[in-house]
Amino acid sequence: MRRGDEKALSMLKLGLSWEILTSVQHHTTSKAMYDAIIDTFEGDAELKEIKKDMLKQQIDRFKFKSGERLNSVLQRFVAIVNEIRATDLQISDNDLNKKLLSSLSREWYTTTKFIK
């Protein structure tokens, strides 16, 4: 068992940049090092909750900007949705669709009513 852990630890070390390795090299098991790497990139529980709150605020405040093209609106919206999907934040597709349709400009009013 120890031999397998040593191999896993070595593989982790080989895949890390020098900056990251120096911050996690004090861990003696592959599991501890892996958990430290995950915490480095994803953050702790408090940071994850803050990120979820920020994503909720972003989606709540999402609006069409004056003069913005539809393609740009969709790109911004999809970027937020992708971040939401990367977390365990649960927002239904139906709610996301409603938010996108309600945030479009007046010129899309008839089309959005038809879609709804």
Write the DSSP string, 7-64. HHHHHHHHTS-HHHHHHHTT--SHHHHHHHHHHHHH--HHHHHHHHHHHHHHHHH--P
Residue 84: both structure tokens together: 């939401």
- Per-10-residue mean pLDDT for the chain, 116 residues long? 81 87 88 87 81 93 89 94 89 92 82 78
**pLDDT value for 6:** 87
Q: Are 48 and 87 in contact (CB under 8 A)?
A: yes
Instruction: Read off the pTM.
Output: 0.62
Q: Domain segments of the chain: what residues?
A: 2-42, 45-115
pLDDT at residue 77 in the model: 95
